[in-house]
Structure 1
């Protein structure tokens, strides 16, 4: 099974898939080797490596075939950003927010004006993710009808192929979409309410029966009951997450607290909760089954109580996982519990390692992309660590005295918590670059409260009739509120979280060996030395350029700008990307995760070029979570960003400084522009030139043709640069021919969003750069772009150097 997982994991690192013919050939030879292994007995020295290799090849072939099957559906390129009409059903629990709603849509029929029915296209996606905005861009929210799971709708939409931000150490949205079998995303186009206008968006049926629709509809009803009982309650979203597994209503601020104190795994239908609920029902069935003699039923004579309890627990887990919408993490837990139940029924429970390995294999067979999820590794590693650290204790005879049994239980629970906290340290640092120091204390409080009080109250309250349901849900909310207040206090402690740069794989291996040494049985010699193996992992610092060198990373933030400039001992963030909503922005979604993964805990300067949302949208999140010595902006002094800054300075032409042999100079705006009211924010963009001894880069913000002309005639010599950040994302109002002639860059970077609504960069402007012989890179195609300024310029593109077969390139 370990070989099988290894083969699947290797496949998920590939830039392209093998052809069907090669996969069939690999399968044939694997089966031939399997026959030989069964025919000729090999010794342990050869047999075990041979079986591991064979399983790895079969795992690779299986995952490849699985990927080929799901990638066969693809939105044709020519239909991207085109209006089409879809007929289908609401296939998921809709998420409603201030501007509209999001949901998955199961496609039954596809139509287009002037073309007719497109359903005959074999590759058309069978399921898409849609957003239906109503309050955005001055639209009338009344045009948006709240959809419900199972309804059949006709919708006019614009779709695009799966595409997400691609950054080092960041979340892979495209892999997540593939795992969810969502092969396109898009938005619903609003109808025009005019006389004789065609109304495309209309409901065709109230409910279309299917097992999936029944489950999703039930989840929606339970969520509505919780909201009806807890209107305007701050932690109603937590109870929704515990009952139906929908975490989207929990604000990002709460998630920050939960993750800092290390209880994020509890705020959902997690494996712990599924196991707890299944275990409670199994225990109840076991007790009633054993005592059925008092009712004259004699059930244990017909079926052993252990088997009845295992069956009841597995069925309860199935029901609870269905409540979670059969989410993939919940599916993993269901498979684990089902394997245990089958082991009990077949009398094969003697080896827990065999049960765990079988579960591991079944999970990756059912979902080969599970190996890309941190939750997959964390869940199996936690169980393995508990078994390793507490091995053999299950055979200890419990004492007869109740007090002694309680002390033994407390000791066992403490040992388990200690083993999990210490044992998961290497993997947690490898996956997240941080560990919660106060996690043991927070979990000691939160696990019993959430698992044995809040979750049962929320589950029972969501299905009981009113007013009992309201009382139970309000009591559950009170406990969550009390817990949240405690966690907020813990999270605010300065030592709550230990952060470091994400380690390499070999540091993970070294630390893991040290942890195994530390958690070995008591007779093992010098166990404390295992901690020494963890020190390189915990004390690793982020990589920095050498003196006189510069590293620039243009992050992929969609339609916006955000660049991190690093010298040997200083860091400057130029712009912070777009704000995506009231509780989401590029600062929290892209920039902060990148900084934390790199082990960067402070910034010397944050420069916001101007006030437009696509440049300043993430600034407040940065200021809230990372110490910034100086904020340099062109914003008005009453801006929330300026007010939140610990030290603020307006960027003015002529400002200059040197860091570690690298020269920084602000070229515009002039001081007089702040006194004028005729200029819009673009015209007041902070223009920054950064130069080493050999190379230079010009960051031009969103300046337009007038400002370009002013710079050309006032400081032409200072504009020359090897690399140019294309002004205004390559809009038609910038990048004039005289400006490009004076700057004369070798490379231009366009920070733009995929199929953005502004159509940046404009084709004629993009071609203008090519006509001047300038190499062009754009973040929607390259992902994050990194540039090393040393003896020569070295450029790397994230999508090219970390290519995966699911990338849309």
Structure 2
């Protein structure tokens, strides 16, 4: 039986409870007041140290209070609402490496901490963009420069969709205060000082690698040596994700540990060649100090990115124990390292790297205690076993974090881990070290690293394109991950453990979650959050239709690729049966090409004579009024445009009506008041053309040129859904339009406020209740987060009184 009095202050149980306390604080939808958390932190710290019997509870309370205070501080750093969309003149330094794209350059900017800067921005970290079709002026941006510039600023805010990245969580973890863009940069931006410091050295080294390696593999050498992934395009990342090799390319804890290991081996070799050194400094101490120094140097070369700093802390803890001659078992050392990392930065738990690194090491320590012992056959067997343990043990976490599992990952890692780790990365590091000492001295090592990398890359590309590499998984419920981890633990128990086959049942909620599909006769609509644009998924029991695919803009953002496709995967869509481009404008059809690459819908529809760059080459059939079909007891019918209607962009938008057994919906595209009145007129003449619906998509994002009063009255909707971008320059949705729908009895919901909007035309739970099957779910309400930006942005909620 466990005795609390014997619980060490920095043992495994304390590490677990500290982790639980921090996790509970970060999982909470709201922060508790700092005035309560600060005293709790002090009391918990005293109890942790003094009260042995209450140490576990004290560690939990300490973690909860510490994470709450860190999160409160990080949120306090973000731009206050009254500063939204203001112009500010700032001076400061470019930190990290600027990213140059076709129409813009992005960079991080640390504002000077002095009285000449605006008070809400002093000393803050900003992410800024310089937009210009001419890349020449933007090429002047270099890491380590000091600039004075004028920027329009706004608080960090992102799209909220199933399966999509959480930009607000990323901003919190990175302590990003502001997003913004430069105003008249060619007139207002002025260089104050040339590049200097660590970031300038990194960019200079990147340029030397590009000059020294005349092959495309130079981009991978830069990534492995200095963490510069700017040269990797979307196709490269797709290959890396499909083969499970992302952790080997992007600078991570793995590389820092590798550098520390090589420095330790070098120190050991030096002490072996010069035995006299051992009389002054023990070899173990020298190796430990060298490991810390090597890891620190490599973390500096990578720009002290958070994953590298976290890993260096782990190395420093283990090496420090050895320097103090207090060796501990692997599990105890891992627990102490985890405590050190969590105390240094409790918000590290928001990143996937923390969980993958610590859980991966924990699995290996538990399952492979004797790895590395014996002859070469035993070592080879231990390496293969380690790959198997890591793949199986981390599969639940990867599936929950990324919504996908790489089936080719174990095989790809079996080849890439030893080759890249023992050959390519050391050569890249040697080249960087030699180049630091003398210009030109490291070129040969960089070229060798590229030559060793190149032969295997086509094989990984072929493996990624095999169709068997990546398995997309629907978004699971919260309990799926703990059950799957328990199942993995059960499967990795020693041979002979009974009931291992039953452990597979614990994986079912994660690998085959409930997709919440409609029953026959029912339908569901999901209005995705794509910014200032539109994309709606319509699902029946066995079919899916996508109505528009969001914008693709010239600065490189493609909502189809970055928002719609991940959301379709997370919602469990396996195929699209039809795709509709309501009209050819970029904000509606721009992302369609990217969606069709991932989901090649056999039926593609658009208005007659549709024009626009976004739909070029897509071969669309017409969506003229009267065309209809049935799926699973649900009727889908186009109401507009009629035959021979000329293509007039917005006014030619396809209008789709969905009739289920339990309700109806109307998708309107960008039609204006003239078309709306025409629909009402036609409905009065032909009952089949009725516009009355329970759910309506407010036309043209809620602009003043749509939502005609007669149309609003004729529709009589219970829910009016708006797709708009937060803080868009058009002022959509207009306040008078929102009020018009509210007065007609509709509840108005906007993607800018709620994220993705999900509503089902389903059978009511109580047959006697009228319209009880209609229930609106917003992404931000269904998945509340303490860092939710919508709570700090006033005036974005529209609900009936």
TM-score > 0.5 by shorter chain = yes
Tell me how far apart the structure 1 counterparts of residues 172 and 509 of structure 2 sit (CA, whole Å): 36
> Is contact 1:500-1:541 (8 Å) kept?
no
Residue 319 of structure 2 aligns with which residue?
341
> Is contact 1:91-1:103 (8 Å) kept?
yes
> Is contact 1:501-1:597 (8 Å) kept?
yes
Tell me how far apart the structure 1 counterparts of residues 722 and 404 of structure 2 sit (CA, whole Å): 32
Tell me how far apart the structure 2 counterparts of residues 749 and 459 of structure 1 sit (CA, whole Å): 54
Residue 609 of structure 1 aligns with which residue?
582
Structure 2 residue 349 is the aligned partner of structure 1 residue 379: no
Structure 2 residue 249 is the aligned partner of structure 1 residue 267: yes
After superposition, residues 461-610 of structure 1 pair within 5 angstroms as: 461-462=431-432, 464=435, 469-522=442-495, 524-525=497-498, 527=500, 530-535=503-508, 537-540=510-513, 542-581=515-554, 584-610=557-583
Distance change >3 Å, CA 701–CA 271, structure 1 → 2: same
Distance change >3 Å, CA 638–CA 557, structure 1 → 2: closer
Distance change >3 Å, CA 466–CA 128, structure 1 → 2: closer
Cα shift at 1:145: 5.3
Cα shift at 1:767: 4.0
Residue 21 of structure 1 aligns with which residue?
35
Tell me how far apart the structure 2 counterparts of residues 94 and 226 of structure 1 sit (CA, whole Å): 17
Tell me how far apart the structure 2 counterparts of residues 239 and 634 of structure 1 sit (CA, whole Å): 49
After superposition, residues 423-438 of structure 1 pair within 5 angstroms as: 423-438=393-408
Cα shift at 1:422: 1.7
> Is contact 2:584-2:611 (8 Å) kept?
no
Unaligned runs of 5+ residues in structure 1 are 39-46, 112-116, 193-198, 208-212, 399-404
Q: Aligned to 2:194, which of 198, 206, 221?
A: 206
Q: Aligned to 1:246, which of 202, 208, 228?
A: 228
Distance change >3 Å, CA 54–CA 313, structure 1 → 2: same
Distance change >3 Å, CA 336–CA 29, structure 1 → 2: closer
Q: Aligned to 1:804, which of 774, 785, 797?
A: 785
Cα shift at 1:541: 5.2
Distance change >3 Å, CA 236–CA 666, structure 1 → 2: farther
Distance change >3 Å, CA 154–CA 666, structure 1 → 2: same
Residue 454 of structure 1 aligns with which residue?
424
Residue 649 of structure 1 aligns with which residue?
621
> Is contact 1:278-1:317 (8 Å) kept?
yes
> Is contact 1:620-1:644 (8 Å) kept?
no
Residue 5 of structure 2 aligns with which residue?
none
Q: Aligned to 1:81, which of 76, 80, 85?
A: 85
Give SS of 1:68's match: helix
Cα shift at 1:263: 0.9
After superposition, residues 277-356 of structure 1 pair within 5 angstroms as: 277-293=259-275, 298-356=276-334
Tell me how far apart the structure 2 counterparts of residues 75 and 507 of structure 1 sit (CA, whole Å): 36
Larger deviation, residues 701-710 vs 578-587:
578-587
Tell me how far apart the structure 1 counterparts of residues 292 and 92 of structure 2 sit (CA, whole Å): 33
Unaligned runs of 5+ residues in structure 2 are 1-14, 765-771, 792-801
TM-score by length of 2: 0.89
Tell me how far apart the structure 1 counterparts of residues 777 and 512 of structure 2 sit (CA, whole Å): 27
Residue 656 of structure 2 aligns with which residue?
688
Distance change >3 Å, CA 595–CA 34, structure 1 → 2: same
Distance change >3 Å, CA 24–CA 643, structure 1 → 2: closer
Residue 166 of structure 2 aligns with which residue?
172
> Is contact 2:239-2:461 (8 Å) kept?
yes
> Is contact 2:78-2:176 (8 Å) kept?
no
> Is contact 2:584-2:614 (8 Å) kept?
no
Tell me how far apart the structure 2 counterparts of residues 3 and 12 of structure 1 sit (CA, whole Å): 14
Q: Deviations over 1:203-252 (max 9, x none)?
A: 12225xxxxx6111111111222233356x54433222212213243111
Cα shift at 1:533: 3.8
> Is contact 2:113-2:123 (8 Å) kept?
no
Give SS of 1:185's match: strand
> Is contact 2:162-2:566 (8 Å) kept?
no
Tell me how far apart the structure 2 counterparts of residues 750 and 550 of structure 1 sit (CA, whole Å): 19
Cα shift at 1:3: 0.7
Residue 712 of structure 1 aligns with which residue?
680
Give SS of 1:217's match: helix
Distance change >3 Å, CA 118–CA 316, structure 1 → 2: closer
Cα shift at 1:772: 4.0
Give SS of 1:715's match: helix
Give SS of 2:494's match: coil
Q: Aligned to 1:126, which of 115, 124, 127?
A: 124
Residue 795 of structure 2 aligns with which residue?
none
Distance change >3 Å, CA 124–CA 671, structure 1 → 2: farther
TM-score by length of 1: 0.88
Residue 41 of structure 1 aligns with which residue?
none
The alignment's C-alpha RMSD in Å is 2.7
Tell me how far apart the structure 2 counterparts of residues 565 and 367 of structure 1 sit (CA, whole Å): 43
> Is contact 1:635-1:642 (8 Å) kept?
no
Cα shift at 1:459: 3.0
Cα shift at 1:262: 1.0
Larger deviation, residues 537-546 vs 51-60:
537-546
Larger deviation, residues 747-756 vs 314-323:
747-756
> Is contact 2:624-2:641 (8 Å) kept?
yes
Q: Deviations over 1:425-471 (max 9, x none)?
A: 22222223322122121112211232222223333344536766445
Give SS of 1:30's match: helix
Q: Aligned to 2:100, which of 72, 87, 96?
A: 96
Residue 670 of structure 2 aligns with which residue?
702
Cα shift at 1:522: 3.6
Tell me how far apart the structure 1 counterparts of residues 553 and 220 of structure 2 sit (CA, whole Å): 22
Distance change >3 Å, CA 118–CA 456, structure 1 → 2: closer
Give SS of 1:283's match: helix
Structure 2 residue 188 is the aligned partner of structure 1 residue 181: no
> Is contact 2:717-2:745 (8 Å) kept?
no
> Is contact 1:601-1:627 (8 Å) kept?
no
Residue 755 of structure 2 aligns with which residue?
783
Cα shift at 1:82: 2.4
Distance change >3 Å, CA 640–CA 189, structure 1 → 2: closer
Tell me how far apart the structure 1 counterparts of residues 84 and 456 of structure 2 sit (CA, whole Å): 47
Distance change >3 Å, CA 31–CA 311, structure 1 → 2: closer
> Is contact 1:86-1:109 (8 Å) kept?
no
Cα shift at 1:727: 1.2
